[in-house]
Amino acid sequence: MAIYESEITQFIKKLREERPGLEERQRQGRALLWDKDIDRDFARAAQAARVPQKPYVYGTNTDSDKK
């Protein structure tokens, strides 16, 4: 009895056969944008230095409010 394979699985297997370096290029692309080392001290300091946003940011502290 044959084991069922979806069309997607068949497509991925065929793609991997046709492009042997595909997975390595995907890893390189991910490392370029996502896999970064985080400086946790800097992130903590940046979070502590944030200024809280006012509840309604539009039209506050304008010259027309002061008159």
- Assessment of whether the complete model's pTM goes beyond 0.85: no
> How much is the pLDDT for 60?
61
Whether 40 is covered by a domain: the verdict is: yes
Structure tokens at 38: 């985080």
- The model's pLDDT over 10-45, given as tens digits with 9 standing for 90+, comes to 999 999 999 999 999 999 999 988 888 889 999 999
CB 53 within 8 A of CB 47: no
Whether 46 is covered by a domain: the verdict is: yes
Whether 39 is covered by a domain: the verdict is: yes
Whether 27 is covered by a domain: the verdict is: yes
Q: 23: domain range? A: 8-51
The structural domain count of the chain equals 1
Q: Helix or strand or coil: residue 2?
A: coil
